[in-house]
Amino acid sequence: MDNHLEEILVELKTHDIKFIVCGGVAAVLHGVERMTVDIDISLDLDKANLEKFLYVLKKMNLKPRVPIPPESILDPEKRKKMIEEKGALVFTFIDPDKPFRQIDIFLEDNKSYNQLSPDIEKISIGSTEINILSIKKLIEMKKDIAPPRGKDLLDIKELELILKQRNSNG
């Protein structure tokens, strides 16, 4: 895994932030061989968790991609407006000095930490245990992307193969 991805995930976990890795990074952690730059996560949207999250991002020089104060994500009404008025599915933080360091947090309720937490697996990155979305749920989420993107279709195919191999190995 790229060092910047590991650095961000370990830092979030070190600060006891409740999150689940989804998207391309979760696919890679499950064994799909592909490049990915951004980290898609589902966060516990509890105010205390979000405050810790914002503290870590500030410490790591990750700032909102759009000109909106990062504290906007603390307000459920502002998050709802982002979804309804802007069609925002994620809120993106990026390092202006190193644009490949990027993290997207899901804004939609159906992708919230509480909704997805029954579908997690744990994986170790060094000595740090990280929650990632299960292969089955990851496939389901990728199939829901409309219109389907080529990389998601390839991920689905690879994840289905990995799941089949896991199931046949007992």
pLDDT confidence of residue 146:
84
Residue 124 pLDDT more than 80?
A: yes
pLDDT at 73 over 70: yes
Question: Which percentage of the chain shows pLDDT scores above 90?
Answer: 81
- Looking at per-residue pLDDT, the higher value among 93 and 3 belongs to 93
Element containing residue 8 per DSSP (H, E): helix 3-14
Q: For residues 128-138, give the mean pLDDT.
A: 96
Nearest CA-CA partner of 73 in 101, 93, 59: 93
Contacts of 73 (CB under 8 A, 6+ apart): 45, 50, 54, 79, 91, 105
Residue 25: band (very low, low, confident or very high) from pLDDT cuts 50, 70, 90 = very high
Query: What three-state secondary structure class fits 66?
Result: coil
Q: Is the pLDDT of residue 169 over 90?
A: no
Segments making up each domain of the chain, as ranges: 3-134
Q: What's the whole-number average pLDDT of the chain?
A: 93
**Two tokens at 13?**
């976990």
**Mean pLDDT, to the nearest integer, of 137-158?**
92
More confident residue, 147 or 121: 121
> Residue type at 152?
D
Bridge-based pairing state of the strands 98-106 and 38-43? parallel
Cis peptide leading into residue 147 (ω within 30°) = yes
Angle (CA) 117-144-38 rounded to 5° is: 65
Query: Tell me, what's the pLDDT at 170?
Result: 65
So what's the pLDDT on residue 13? 96
Q: Which CATH class is domain 3-134?
A: alpha beta
DSSP at 147: S
Q: 0.85 cut: is pTM over it?
A: yes
Give the pLDDT confidence of 38-65 residue by residue, as tens digits.
999 999 999 999 999 999 999 999 999 9
pLDDT at 1: 42
Q: What is the mean pLDDT of residues 131-159?
A: 93
pLDDT, mean of residues 30-37: 90
